[in-house]
Structure 1
Amino acid sequence: MLPGNQVPATLSIGTAASSAARIVSFRNAIRWDIVRHFAPTALPFAALGVWALSRVNPVYLSLLLGLFLLGNLPLLFRKPAPNVAVKPVHVARLHVLGAAAGFISGFTGAVGLVFNGFYYRLGLRKEEIVATRAANEIMLHLLKVILYAAFGLLSARAAVAGLAVAMAAILSSILMKHLLPYLHDRLFHHIGHAAMVVAGVMMVIAAGGQIARQEDVTLHFAHAAEEVTASLSWQQHTFAVEWENGDELELSHRVRLPSATSPDLFQPHGFVLHVSPRTGIQAVRVWGSSRTNSRPATPS
């Protein structure tokens, strides 16, 4: 619905409204000892993240975050651990967490799920997690909305979409106020891990699709008789693997470079590595449009 660089602004509007609703619903469970050390470093780093967003494509960071969230998959099948005891809060770790959360949040819009594990390890109750996260995030998202608008990353369409997300988030917070007391802490953690895995899958799929379109990434597979070929094309590069004659392997990399005589024409350059039980290993340098014009290296 929106250009990629306007999505974080929409998410921030919705998350700010959700945080406000959760603060109202669970205000007595807020751990202020965590909030007062988290926010001071999160806010300036959020501004740095918004500035970076105005100059860098966030899709690669989204892909990395998606892969990070997928790391929670083994936790879904792990035997539930006993209730975690409350652990002391290390101030230095809170400042590092605030800086990381602020920067990544400014760059992608929302990262609450990414840092869920931190709150789990502190031994917070489910109400404390919901309330403390909301208190940590509300100032962060309000600041980001202002910065997104200042950097030209908040359009009227993005604002309308953000308001729609905000209305749904507020209704969700009202529902959770009545539902959360009936959830066991272990079930709450299990749902949290499942949500992180689902979010990771969606982020990897979405970011992977965007990268494929932006970088002109294509995959090709062919099978005929005793030959199997698979190739990956990325911008001017093509990587290929071929299985020939039932027992020969060929690996190749070609890059399309402008011709020295005509910049409008492109010629493939690269290398081919051929492995055969009969001829051994051969490395061939590719020059020009045909392998017949290549410069073969001495077989090893």
Structure 2
Amino acid sequence: MSAICGGGASLILIPLLNLLLPTSVVPFSLTIGTFTSSASRIAVFKKHINWKIFFWFVPFSIPAVLTGAYLIKFINPNYLQLIVALFLVCNAPQLFKSKKTAENSEKPYPDFALAIIGFLAGFVSGITGAIGLLFNRFYLKFGLSKEEIVATRAANEVFLHLIKLMIYISLGLYSNLALCLGLAIAAATIVSSYTVKFILPYLSENIFKKVGYGAMVVSGVALLAGTSGKIIEQDKISIVNESKHSSVISWRNTDMVLEYAINDGLEIERPIQPEELPEPLKQKYITLKKQYDTVYIEKVFTFGREAAHEFYCYKDKKLTKFEI
């Protein structure tokens, strides 16, 4: 898939590798495979590289990939993967456009857009370990042939993958299992790159684009399913229906109540600490604290109104509620 579409397999491999490896070393394993894949495609399609795009893309992508790869040690890549998945799924309408409609709606981007695309591609790749088909849509709109898309993307990305490998190793973001899985992916990509040389000439430009967009959507769905499940598990996200009009959403040991009242509409209630109260309400809390055994505070958000506060006061196991 990746060889025919110019990318995509990495984004499907991410949720599979997440099952076998810690999240922090998944990018290392992927990058071994994607580096080998890009290098082998350059060897096969080198005469089709569009050097104009290459010289706009690469200089801006290198500092971005350095930043992204460094930040992987401090941020959770799963949330970025989730955003990438949603972006990919949003390409579904492209599958149903006719050839004529697609050609009329495709307007090439200005050259400076390549610099922005290069920077974003490098940053996303540095954190997740894969660019996949995320930026394939931009290549398609530059009017490149299918061979040029495969070759130019490989040339643009081979430097990113090499830099990432060096950064991941220097930060200790690798393991023996990650290395073995990466080498297995690398071996498969070499075979696929040389095989696609004989398949690509038989695909029309329109079918190539449809396969590309289809791969984006499939990759997005696979990534969305795998990543969302991992986020739910690691952040202990749960939704409990307390009543017909009220649900409690838990995230990282924090509860948020979603409540619907006929008169007040939709409300979101979030527990807060006393120090988060506005100054006038802090005095109210101090007064209530002297009168009751326990006082819990919730901040209430209602559409079209200013945020309010609710005080749940317990004394002798009896609740008294104050709304301010």
Is the shorter-chain TM-score for this pair beyond 0.5, marking a shared fold? yes
CA contact (8 A) 1:113 1:196 kept: yes
Q: Per the alignment, do residues 269 and 156 of structure 1 end up closer, same or farther by CA in structure 2, a change over 3 Å counting? A: same
Residue 255 of structure 2 is aligned to residue 237 of structure 1: yes
After TM superposition, list the pairs within 5 Å mapping 1:36-55 onto structure 2: 36-55=55-74
Corresponding residue to 1:156 among 173, 176, 186: 176
Give the 3 Å change call, closer, same or farther, for CA 8–251 of structure 1 in structure 2: same
Runs of 4+ more than 6 Å apart: 85-89, 247-250
1:65 CA displacement:
1.1
| Larger helix fraction of residues | 2
Shift of 1:122: 0.5
Q: Deviation of residue 233 (structure 1)?
A: 1.6
1:295 is aligned to 2:319: no
User: Post-superposition shift, 1:288?
Assistant: 4.0
CA distance in 2, matches of 1:7, 1:82: 39
Deviations 1:177-233 (A, max 9, x none): 11111111111111111111111122222222222223221022477xxx4654322
2:232 aligned partner, one-letter code: A
* Structure 1 partner of 2:15: none
Number of aligned residue pairs: give it. 280
Asked whether 1:175 is paired with 2:195, we answer yes
Gap change, CA 1:19 and 1:267, over 3 Å in 2: farther
SS of the equivalent of 2:98 reads: coil
Find the aligned partners of 2:227 and 2:297 in 1 and give their Cα distance.
30
1:143: how far off? 1.3
Consecutive unaligned residues of structure 2, counting only runs of 5 or more, are 1-19, 275-285, 303-307
Residues 267-286 of structure 1 aligned to structure 2 (within 5 Å): 268-270=296-298, 285-286=310-311
Alignment CA distance shift 1:82-1:185 (3 Å): farther
Gap change, CA 1:219 and 1:88, over 3 Å in 2: closer
Gaps of 5+ in 1: 275-282
Aligned to 1:184: 204
CA contact (8 A) 1:34 1:89 kept: no
Aligned residue among 208, 211, 229 for 2:228: 208
CA distance in 1, matches of 2:91, 2:190: 27
Change (3 A) 1:16 1:267: farther
In the alignment, which residue of structure 1 is the partner of 2:122? Answer: 102
Question: What secondary structure sits across from 2:186 in the alignment?
Answer: helix
* Contact in 2 for aligned 1:84/1:123 (Cα 8 Å): no
Q: Find the counterpart in structure 1 of residue 49 from structure 2.
A: 30
State the identity as a percent. Answer: 37
Q: Tell me what 1:279 maps to.
A: none
TM-score in terms of structure 2 length:
0.76
Give the match for residue 69 of structure 1: 88
Q: Please state how far the C-alpha of 1:107 moved relative to its aligned partner.
A: 1.1
- RMSD (CA atoms): 3.2
Closer/same/farther in 2, CA of residues 28 and 87 from structure 1, 3 Å limit: farther
Which amino acid in structure 2 is aligned with residue 233 of structure 1?
A: S
CA offset digits 1:109-129 (Å, max 9, x no partner): 111311101110100000110
SS at match of 2:133: helix
The answer to which of 162-171 and 213-222 deviates more is: 213-222
Q: 2 CA distance for matches of 1:70 and 1:105?
A: 18
SS in 2 for 1:124: coil
CA positional deviation for 1:89 = 7.8
